[in-house]
Amino acid sequence: MNVRIFRWLVVAVLLLLVAVPLYWILATSFKTGRQILMSEGVYFPRPFTLENYLYLFEETRFALWLRNSAVTAIASTLISLAIGSAGAYALTRLRFPGRRSFGALVLITYLVPPGLMFIPLYRTFIQIGYTNSLGTLIIAYPTFLVPFVTWLLMGFFRSIPRELEEAALVDGATRLQTLRRIVLPLAAPGLLAAGLFCFTLSWNEFLYALIFIADDNLRTLPVGLSEFVVSDFAFWGQLMAAAALASLPVVLVYIYLHKYMVSGLTAGAVKG
Amino acid sequence: MGQGPVSGAGGGAAGPRQSPLVLARSTDAAPRARGLAWHRVNRVQERLLAYALILPVALLIAGLIAYPFFNAIWLSLTEKMVGYPAHFVGLKNYVTLWDSARFRIVAWNSVVYTVGSIGAKVVIGLAMAAALQKAVRGTQFLRGFLLLPWVIPTVVIALTWRWLLDLYRGLVNVSLLDLGIIKAGFHWLGNPDLAMLSVIIANVWRGFPFFGVSFLAAMQTVPQDLYDAASVDGASAWQQFWRISLPSIKGVVAIVTLLSTIWTLNDFNIVYIMTRGGPGAATHIFATYSYELGIQSQRWGMAMAASMYSLPVIALLIVFVVRYLHRDEVAS
C-alpha cells in the first residue's frame, strides 16, 4: 500500500478515536434531559441548552467540590515543590555519602503504584487519627508528588551549567545565596512545569480521595463525579457537564505545558 | 532550608571541582586563597547542607511510604475479629486466598487486563509514532491534540466510556445500529468478556497517546542518513520501519512498557468506575479486590495479602526500571 495513504489513514483513525469521546462529552452536556432519555437524534444537542451546567451550581455541591479540589491541589503542589526542589538540588549539586543510594530510593518510591499503597496509607492515617480532612489529602499527595518532582527537577538542575554557580562561589557567595540568586531563577521554568504537573496529578487523583474522605462536604471533584452514578442510573447530561468543567483546568494547564511534555519527555514523566 | 548553621559559616569558597575556565576568569585572587584555607570546612559544610536539604524528602519517604508499607506487610500476617485485637496468623491469609477461586479469577483478570492494555498500547503507539514521524503539516497540533486523553482526569474518562458503552443510549451501540452493522446492541458492561474488553478499551484510550509520543520522541533522534541510505539501497518504508526505526527505539519501548506494567497491574480507577469489578468478578483486579476486602468488608489482613501477591512482579519490574534509569542518570 502507498505509504502516504497509510500514514494519513492512521492519523485520521487516531484523530477520530480521540475526538469522538471528547465530542460525546460536550454534546451530551448541552442536551436536554428529555433528549437524552428518549434517545432522540443522539448525534447533536437539539435543542441546545445550558441547563445541565446551571443545575450543577444550583442543585449540587459542585462548587464545593471545585473548591476542595483547588485547595488540595494547590496546597499539596506547593509543599511538594518546596520539599522536592531542595532534595533535587542536593542530589544533583552537592556531594555527600549515600547520595547515589538516596537517588535510587527516590526513584523506587516514585514507581510504587498507588493501587498498592492505599490501604497501608489509610491504616497509617487511622493510627494517627487523621482521616476525613482535606489536610489528610494534602499530606498524602506528596507521597507520590515529591518523588516525581525530585526526579523531574534533577534533570532541570543538571542542565544549569555548574560553572555559573562555581563562579558565584569563587566570588564569595554562600551556597544559599547561590541557590537563591542563580540556581532558582534559572530553574524557574522547570519549577513552574513541575508545579503544573503536580497540580494536574493532584487534581485528577481519585483513589486516595475516595478512601480517606468520608464527609460529603469534603469530597474532591473526581469523587463527587463518581457518585453521580447511582446504581445503574445516572444523570448523564449533568454528569457530562461536570466532566467537561472538571477537565477544563487541566486542559488549560496542558496547553501551556505542551512544549515541555513533548520536548523534555523523560521516561515516566507522569504516571499512567 | 537549613538556613542557620550552613549560611552562618559564610564565605563559601570554591570547592575542589571548579573548572579551569572559572579560575581563569576570576580576577580577584582573595577568594581563591580563602578557598584553599576553607577547603576542609567547606566539605563538611556541603554535607551538612545536603543532609538538611534531603531531610524533608527522607522524612516523607520514611513516615508515609516505608512505615505504612512495612506495617501493612505485618498486617497481612494478622487477623482481626470484631471485639478482639489483631493477632498473628502467619501465612494463613495468603493460603486462604491461594485456595480461593475468586482470588484466582482476580489474579488472572489482572494479568489479562495488563497484557491486553499494554499490548494494544504498544501497537497503537507504534502506529502513531510511525505515522507522525515524517513531518507532515500540523504535526505539532496533531500531537498536542492526540495527547488530550492522557491529560484529562481518569475518572472523567471512565465515566465517559461507561456512557459511550451504555446498552440503549450509548453512542457506540446507537451508531452501530444506525449503520446497520448490528441488529441488537452489545451488552458491553453486562457480558463478562465484553466487560473486560470495555475496561481495556478505556485504559488503552487513556494510555496510547503517551506511548505514541514517547516512541515518536525516540524515533526522531534516529539520524536521517540511515533512512536515506536505506532508500538508496531500495528498502521499502515497511522495511525501514522494521529494520531501522524499531531497533533504534527498542530501549524506549521496553522502559515505557515496564513502567506501564507496574501501574496497570495495580490500576484501580477505570475498573472501579466502569464495572466495580463486575459482572460477578469478571473484571475484578488486584486493587479493586483489595478495596472490596479492606474498605468494604474490613478484612484488612486479607486485603493486604491480596495486594502483596502482586508485589514480587512489581518489585522485579521496579528493579529493572531503576537499574535502567539510574544508569542513564549517572552517565549524564
Which amino acid is it at B85? P
Tell me what pLDDT residue B241 has: 87
State pLDDT tens for residues A11-57.
999 999 999 999 999 999 999 888 888 887 888 888 899 999 999 99
Of A119, A146, A223, the CB nearest to B303: A119
Of A36, A204, A258, the CB nearest to B154: A204
Is a pLDDT exceeding 60 seen at residue B37? no
Tell me what pLDDT residue B221 has: 84
At A261, the pLDDT band (50, 70, 90 cuts) reads: low
Is a pLDDT exceeding 90 seen at residue B31? no
Quote the CA–CA distance of B118 and A115 in Å, as a whole number.
17
B105 and B47 share one domain = no
Q: How many domains does chain B have?
A: 2
Of A14, A158, A166, the CB nearest to B19: A166
Quote the CA–CA distance of A150 and B20 in Å, as a whole number.
30
Instruction: Report CB contact under 8 Å: B35, A103.
Output: no
Question: With a CB-CB cutoff of 8 Å, which residues 134-153 of chain A face chain B?
Answer: 139-140, 142-143, 146-147, 150
Tell me what pLDDT residue B29 has: 47
Is a pLDDT exceeding 70 seen at residue A221? yes
Sign of CA dihedral B246, B249, B250, B255: negative
B61 and B105 share one domain = no
B71 and B106 share one domain = no
Tell me what pLDDT residue A141 has: 96
Q: Which of B32, B43, B46, B53 to substitute to test the interface with A, most A CBs within 10 Å?
A: B53
Instruction: Report CB contact under 8 Å: A123, B300.
Output: yes
> Is residue B88, in this structure, part of any structural domain at all?
no
The arithmetic mean of pLDDT across residues B286-307, rounded, is 92
Tell me what pLDDT residue A23 has: 96
Burial of B184 (0-12, 13-18, 19+ CB in 10 A): exposed
> Is residue B254, in this structure, part of any structural domain at all?
yes
B55 and B137 share one domain = no
Q: In sequence order, what E strands does A67-183 have? A: none
Tell me what pLDDT residue B133 has: 83
> Is residue B165, in this structure, part of any structural domain at all?
yes
Instruction: Report CB contact under 8 Å: B14, A99.
Output: no
DSSP notation for B252-265: HHHHHHHHHHHHHH
Quote the CA–CA distance of B92 and B97 in Å, as a whole number.
9
Question: With a CB-CB cutoff of 8 Å, which residues 72-131 of chain A face chain B?
Answer: 82-84, 86-87, 89-91, 94-97, 99-100, 102-109, 111-124
Tell me what pLDDT residue B136 has: 61
At B162, the pLDDT band (50, 70, 90 cuts) reads: very high
Nearest to A100, CA basis, from B56, B331, B252:
B331
Quote the CA–CA distance of A175 and A169 in Å, as a whole number.
7
For residue B28, the surrounding DSSP H or E stretch is none
A247 touches chain B (CB under 8 A): yes
A262 touches chain B (CB under 8 A): yes
Predicted ipTM of the assembly: 0.90
Domains of chain A, with CATH numbers? 61-220+250-263 (1.10.3720.10)
- A47 upstream amide cis, omega within 30 of 0: yes
Lowest mean pLDDT among A141-150, B36-45, B205-214: B36-45
Beta bridge partners of B78: B88
> Is residue B90, in this structure, part of any structural domain at all?
no
B48 and B174 share one domain = no
The CATH code of the domain that includes B254 is: 1.10.3720.10
> Is residue B85, in this structure, part of any structural domain at all?
no
Tell me what pLDDT residue A267 has: 35
> Is residue B262, in this structure, part of any structural domain at all?
yes
Burial of A172 (0-12, 13-18, 19+ CB in 10 A): middle
Q: Which residues of B touch A117 (CB under 8 A)?
A: 65, 68-69
Biggest CA pair distance of chain B: 89
At B28, the pLDDT band (50, 70, 90 cuts) reads: very low
B68 and B177 share one domain = no
B69 and B120 share one domain = no
B61 and B207 share one domain = no
Beta-carbon contacts of A110 under 8 Å, excluding residues fewer than 6 positions away, are A144, A147, A148, A150, A151, A268
Quote the CA–CA distance of A245 and A26 in Å, as a whole number.
10
State pLDDT tens for residues B201-243.
999 999 999 899 889 888 888 888 888 888 888 888 888 888 8
Tell me what pLDDT residue A271 has: 39
B174 and B276 share one domain = yes
Entry pTM: 0.87
Q: Name the residue range of residue B7's domain.
A: 3-75
Question: With a CB-CB cutoff of 8 Å, which residues 287-326 of chain B face chain A?
Answer: 287, 290-291, 294-295, 300, 303-304, 307, 310-311, 314, 318, 321-322, 325-326
Is a pLDDT exceeding 60 seen at residue B20? no
Nearest to A111, CA basis, from B207, B260, B153:
B260
B51 touches chain A (CB under 8 A): yes
Tracing cell 496529578 back to the chain, one arrives at A201
Of B163, B265, B321, the CB nearest to A28: B163
Looking at chain A, the whole-number percentage of residues with pLDDT higher than 70 is: 93
B119 and B196 share one domain = yes
B141 and B224 share one domain = yes
A225 touches chain B (CB under 8 A): yes
Is a pLDDT exceeding 60 seen at residue B2? no
Lowest mean pLDDT among A89-98, A116-125, A252-261, B223-232: A252-261
B267 touches chain A (CB under 8 A): yes
Tell me what pLDDT residue B3 has: 31
Instruction: Report CB contact under 8 Å: A21, B161.
Output: yes
> Is residue B89, in this structure, part of any structural domain at all?
no
> Is residue B232, in this structure, part of any structural domain at all?
yes
State pLDDT tens for residues A54-96.
999 998 899 999 999 999 999 999 999 999 999 999 999 888 9
Instruction: Report CB contact under 8 Å: B259, A111.
Output: yes
State pLDDT tens for residues B41-68.
678 888 998 999 999 999 999 999 999 9
Neighbours of B16 (CB within 10 A): 10
B285 and B161 share one domain = yes
